[in-house]
Structure 1
Amino acid sequence: MAAHGLAKNAELTARSAWEKTVADKNEALQVIVDGLKRDIRYAENLVDFDDAQLRLIGWGGRRPKQSLMPPGQARSLEVAAQGEGWITLDWKAPNEGGSVATHRVERQNPHAQEALWEEVGTTTSLESTITRQERGKRLEFRVLAFNKAGTGEASKTVMATL
Structure 2
Amino acid sequence: MTRAREWQVSLDFKARLDEDAAFDLMEALGRYGASVAVDPGHTGGGLTLAVDAPDGETALAKARTLLEKNMPGATVTGLEAREWADAVARNREPLYPPVVGYAEIARMTGVTRQRAYAFPRIESFPKPVIETSQGPLYSEDAVRAWAQTRELRPGRPKAME
Question: As a proportion of its length, which structure holds more helix?
Answer: 2
The TM-score bracket by the shorter chain reads under 0.3
| Bigger Rg, which one | 1
TM-score by length of 1: 0.23
